[in-house]
């Protein structure tokens, strides 16, 4: 029995069809809820100072401003993902952020016990899937007729 047949035998077609529209919702809400606390910590606690060290290491000007910008993206962008507002645009921004974190900050460490890059790669891939799907049936984008 193939894996598709196994899934089909576990979930009847009527159930799968009924649950399918919630796939994009689960992905965007999960990613948004994971990133909101990170943004909150950068904006309203002292995590922006620690995050600015990465930008200093890159040689970028105004590292603290970059850290606050990333905090705003994570906090407000996370909220936007949760409700499905400008979903593809926010997902693109998160995919870029996770690529930078994975490849410029954490690479080549993969192991989670050593602050590796597997979580940022995973979140980046979820962001890419949201970018492809859009907000889905249950999003503000759809409600407002913004199907871009």
Angle in degrees, 0-180, between the axes of helices 118-133 and 23-44, rounded to the nearest 10: 130
8 A C-beta contact, residue 61 and residue 48: no
If one counts the domains in the chain, the total is: 1
Torsions phi, psi of 2, nearest 5? -75, 165
Q: What tokens does 66 get? A: 């970059």
Place of tokens 């889905």: 136
Domain residue limits at 134:
22-144
**Residue 50 has which token pair?**
């620690």
Instruction: Say what the pLDDT of residue 111 is.
Output: 73
Q: Which positions of the chain have pLDDT values less than 50?
A: none
Is the entire prediction scored with pTM above 0.95?
no
Task: Identify which of 93, 33, 34 has the alpha carbon closest to the alpha carbon of residue 69.
Answer: 93
57-92 tens-digit pLDDT: 778 889 899 999 999 999 999 999 999 999 999 999
| 74 is a domain residue | yes
Q: Is residue 13 part of a domain?
A: no
Do the domain assignments include residue 16? no
| Cα separation, 46 vs 41, whole angstroms | 7
Residue 1 lies in a domain: no
pLDDT at 87: 96
């Amino acid at each position: 029995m193939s894996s598709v047949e196994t899934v089909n035998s576990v979930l009847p077609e009527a159930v799968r069809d009924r649950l399918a529209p919630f796939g994009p919702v689960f992905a965007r809400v999960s990613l948004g809820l994971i990133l909101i606390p990170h943004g909150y910590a950068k904006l309203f606690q002292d995590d922006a100072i620690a995050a600015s060290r990465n930008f200093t290491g890159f040689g970028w000007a105004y590292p603290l401003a970059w850290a606050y910008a990333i905090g705003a993206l994570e906090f407000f962008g996370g909220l936007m993902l949760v409700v499905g507002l400008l979903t593809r645009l926010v997902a693109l921004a998160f995919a870029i952020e996770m690529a930078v974190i994975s490849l410029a900050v954490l690479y080549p460490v993969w192991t989670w016990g050593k602050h590796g890059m597997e979580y940022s790669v995973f979140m980046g891939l979820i962001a890419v899937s949201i970018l492809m799907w859009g907000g889905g049936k249950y999003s503000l984008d759809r409600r407002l007729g913004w199907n871009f």
